[in-house]
Amino acid sequence: MPMLPEAIWRRRLESEFQQMAASGEHFEVDEMKMSYVISLRGVGLFKNGGSLDSLQKRESHSIQIDLKREYPYAGGIDVTWLTPIFHPNIRSEDGKVCIQLLNAWSEGTTIASLTKALKQLLEKPNPNDALNKEAADYFAMHPNALNETAVVKKPRVVV
């Protein structure tokens, strides 16, 4: 896997940090500027009990972005959703994110642009590119679930 020379890589990390600071996003970063925890605002759903009947809305989310030594090249970044979320493009078990931007990563992509893409993903789930089949099925049947005042719940079957 390709790597930038150390001095250029360090400048890139500093540039990424400066762009994030100017973005207005709330975030924390480690001393090496390689691990970011970003707070995103936006409506998402989460299971508060394990079943679809327990779905609730959440408006604040934490995402961790870890930059590896191979950054900014493809495979040099890990993205993990830290807060519980019920979303077709985020694996509930470990928070791993399926995002086209990671699949089509280029050296010119920045953490600030990735953060914008994550906000878009939160606001516009894509049930056709799913890591979480249950959430994909739910959002396919309830495409406006994030916009509804009350969360649409799976009807109970009375026997």
DSSP code string of 87-149: BTTB-TTT-BB--HHHHT--TT--HHHHHHHHHHHHHS--TTS-S-HHHHHHHHH-TTTTTSS
The answer to whether residue 157 is domain-embedded is no
Query: What's the pLDDT tens digit per position in 144-154?
Result: 999 874 544 44
Output the pTM of the full model: 0.87
**pLDDT of the residue at 78:** 93
Residue 106 lies in a domain: yes
Identify whether 133 is part of a domain: yes
Beta bridge partners of 87: 90
Number of domains composing the chain: 1
The CATH number assigned to the domain holding 99 equals 3.10.110.10
Instruction: Convert the pLDDT of each residue in 99-141 to its tens digit.
Output: 666 777 788 889 999 999 999 999 999 998 899 999 999 999 9
Whether residue 149 lies inside any domain: the answer is no
Residue 53: DSSP 8-state: G
Q: What is the DSSP secondary structure assignment for residue 85, as one 8-state letter?
A: -
Residue 13's pLDDT band (boundaries 50, 70, 90)? very high
Residue 155 domain-assigned? no
Phi–psi pair at 44, nearest 5 degrees: -140, 170
Looking at residue 157, its pLDDT comes to 47
Of 122, 106, 17, 23, give the one whose Cα is nearest residue 65: 17
In a domain, residue 150? The reply is no
Looking at the domain assignment, is residue 148 inside a domain? no
Q: What is the mean pLDDT of residues 47-71?
A: 93
User: What local confidence, expressed as pLDDT, does residue 152 receive?
Assistant: 46
Query: Which pLDDT belongs to residue 101?
Result: 62
Structural domain contains residue 159: no
Domain assignment of residue 87, given as a range: 6-141
pLDDT at 74: 84
Q: What pLDDT does residue 129 have? A: 84
What confidence score (pLDDT) does residue 156 get? 47
Pairwise CA distance, residues 57 & 105, whole Å: 30
Per-residue pLDDT reduced to its tens digit, 62-93: 999 999 999 999 889 999 999 999 999 999 99
Q: Is the pLDDT of residue 155 over 70?
A: no
